[in-house]
Amino acid sequence: MKTTARWILAAAMMFAGVSHLFWARREFQAQVPDLVTDLLPIDKDAVVVASGAVEIMLGAALIALPKERRRVGAILAAFFVAIFPGNVAQAVGKRKGFGLDDDRARFARLAFQPVLVAWALWSTRR
């Protein structure tokens, strides 16, 4: 069951990463907190592209590096924690994206983030 869960998570991460690079770039830009681009010499599109590349690599690593799965799971969980402020910024800023057009949908998404963290950790433990 853990193997199946890990493969599903890996596929979802790679799909999300590819969507960052192609058809959903503008949608993902709604999640980049303004603070990031205020503090760093980077624009929202570059943040989206970089995070997409990271998602592809983490998804691939879940499959390609079975001996490192525990470490990859921890890194993926940390990644989910790191991107959480973007989800908060979208909710608080009432930014539309991915069909999250009302407060209930945006805040429900926030509740799913701990599930992703737990999924990454659980599916990569022996």
Query: What is the residue-level pLDDT of the chain in tens, covering all 126 positions?
Result: 999 999 999 999 999 999 999 999 988 888 898 889 999 999 999 999 999 999 999 999 999 999 999 999 999 999 999 999 988 988 888 888 777 788 888 888 899 999 999 999 999 998
Q: How many CB atoms lie within 10 A of CB 66?
A: 12
Residue 89 is predicted with a pLDDT of 87
Residue 77 is predicted with a pLDDT of 98
Cα-based distances in Å from 102 to 73, 80, 107: 32, 23, 9
Residue 13 is predicted with a pLDDT of 98
The whole domain housing 81 covers 2-123
Residue 104 is predicted with a pLDDT of 87
Number of domains in the chain: 1
Conformational region of residue 33, where left means phi above 0, alpha means psi within -120 to 50, and beta covers everything else: beta
Residue 120 is predicted with a pLDDT of 98
Residue 60 is predicted with a pLDDT of 98
Q: Which residue has tokens 């990463």?
A: 17
